[in-house]
């Protein structure tokens, strides 16, 4: 059902762009390379690293399903040797880390010289995985934090285009705008008039979300508006 909605009703462009970036990161990994998925959760991108030795680390503290982790640990202290990994995946995790510099330094430590990392991180997204949700980052914060840990950034860009940000805003409107008129107006006779207006707004927002997600996949506008996520590709010199 979830994949039917994802494919035909609301084709979430963020998920598709996340898949594309991680798939192409996997394609650049050579056979037998050792890969760490840091904060792996359900390990949605493990399949792109079948030709590698894939390991994962997660503290497994959130009330949600997890795939089995190689290392159940805080990312600030990964129980493995310096320079073990050729590649690191770090998707949608940085915002959950209270002390980001400590974790980026630890990822730098476990990455081989010449090894590379992909990081995706929201700039605009609702609070989630509470209470482990601490920050939203601008591109300048990413540049600062990655450089401070010792990484060199190869690419830093929007994950989706502005249509993706708008689609997400419309989706939020469709799902979260209260339908009960009493939430807006106290007068007893208004609800009858007001309910169709709110219901119409929510339905229009759902349609616009579906349209804008599709537009975002067809054309990624990144020179105006604001991003929903950034993607950073960096390496250890
Ligand atoms: C939003 S999920 C992303 C999961 C996965 N990377 C993905 O893209 O689907 C964030 C993950 O980071 C993990 N996490 C958050 N803080 C962590 C920490 N300090 N140490 C280890 N894992 C952490 C959570 O358990 C969760 O699985």
Q: How far apart are CA 129 and CA 122, in angstroms?
A: 13
- Cβ atoms of 222 and 158 within 8 Å: the answer is yes
Cβ(40) – ligand 1 distance below 6 Å = yes
CA distances from 213 to 16, 45, 209 (A): 10, 21, 6
Q: pLDDT tens-digit profile of 46-79?
A: 999 999 999 999 999 999 999 999 999 999 999 9
What pTM did the predictor assign?
0.94
141 lines ligand 1 (CB under 6 A): no
Q: Could you tell which of 59, 68, 110, 117 is best to mutate to test the pocket of ligand 1, judged by most ligand atoms within 8 Å of the CB?
A: 59
CA of 205 to the centre of ligand 1 (A): 30
Average pLDDT, the chain: 94
pLDDT at 198: 87
Mutation test residue for ligand 1: of 39, 67, 132, the one with most atoms within 8 Å of CB: 39
Per-residue pLDDT of the chain (237 residues; tens, 9 = 90+): 666 666 666 789 999 999 999 999 999 999 999 999 999 999 999 999 999 999 999 999 999 999 999 999 999 999 999 999 999 999 999 999 999 999 999 999 999 999 999 999 999 999 999 999 999 999 999 999 999 999 999 999 999 999 999 999 999 999 998 887 667 666 666 667 778 888 999 999 999 999 999 999 999 999 999 999 999 999 999
Rounded distance from Cα 135 to ligand 1 centre (Å): 14
**Strand spans (E) along 25-106:** 34-38, 53-58, 71-72, 85-91
**Residue 55 Cα, ligand 1 centroid: separation in angstroms?**
14
Q: Is the Cβ–Cβ distance between 98 and 71 less than 8 Å? A: no
């Amino acid at each position: 059902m979830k994949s039917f909605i994802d494919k035909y009703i609301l084709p979430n462009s963020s998920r598709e762009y996340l898949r594309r970036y991680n798939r192409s990161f996997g394609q650049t990994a050579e056979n037998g390379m050792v890969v760490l998925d840091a904060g792996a959760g359900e390990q949605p991108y493990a399949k792109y690293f079948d030709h590698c030795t894939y390991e994962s680390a997660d503290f497994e503290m959130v009330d949600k399903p997890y795939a089995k982790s190689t290392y159940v640990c805080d990312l600030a202290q990964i129980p493995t040797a310096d320079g073990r990994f050729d590649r690191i995946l770090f998707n949608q995790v940085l915002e959950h880390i209270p002390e980001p510099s400590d974790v980026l330094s630890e990822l730098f430590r476990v990455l081989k010289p010449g090894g590379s990392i992909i990081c995706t991180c929201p700039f605009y997204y609702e609070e989630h995985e509470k209470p482990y949700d601490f920050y939203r980052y601008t591109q300048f914060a990413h540049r600062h934090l990655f450089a401070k840990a010792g990484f060199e950034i190869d690419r830093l860009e929007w994950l989706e285009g502005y249509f993706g940000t708008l689609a997400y805003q419309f989706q939020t409107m469709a799902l979260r705008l209260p339908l009960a008129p009493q939430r807006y107006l106290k007068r007893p006779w208004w609800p009858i008039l007001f309910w169709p207006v709110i219901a119409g707004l929510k339905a229009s927002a759902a349609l616009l979300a579906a349209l804008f997600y599709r537009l975002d996949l067809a054309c990624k506008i990144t020179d105006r508006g604001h991003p929903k996520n950034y993607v950073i590709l960096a390496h250890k010199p």
